[in-house]
Amino acid sequence: MNIISNCIRYADSIVELSLEIVEDNKALLTISDDGPGFDINDLPYIFERFYKGKKGNSGLGLAISKNVIKKHNGKITAENSASGALFIIELPIIQTH
């Protein structure tokens, strides 16, 4: 929810979510917006605890999100796309029988 709310806060008008299954055992969730994207100087630090960009709030949301995803054996990355910010979340799919 934190990632989505961040995208909503910075978006001009569009937030897109996409989910696909890759390699039969991984879910790939992408969340993007059409806002200004990340300041290139902030990008390496956005997942660090208490780091805030120019419009940041507490500097905790992205750090907590990364920790939760990591606890589920996943990975999150962020980058600038042609139209704004892009978050990529990879999570393993656990097969149950």
Domains of the chain with CATH codes? 2-92 (3.30.565.10)
CA–CA separation, 73 vs 53, rounded Å? 27
Question: pTM of the entire structure?
Answer: 0.87
CA–CA separation, 92 vs 82, rounded Å? 28
* Both tokens assigned to 35: 């806002």
Q: For position 97, what pLDDT does the model report? A: 66
Q: For position 78, what pLDDT does the model report? A: 96
CA–CA separation, 68 vs 83, rounded Å? 27
Per-residue pLDDT of the chain (97 residues; tens, 9 = 90+): 889 998 999 999 999 999 999 988 999 999 999 999 998 988 998 898 877 766 666 678 899 999 999 999 999 999 999 999 999 999 999 877 6
CA–CA separation, 37 vs 58, rounded Å? 19
- Give the count of beta carbons closer than 10 Å to the beta carbon of residue 19: 11
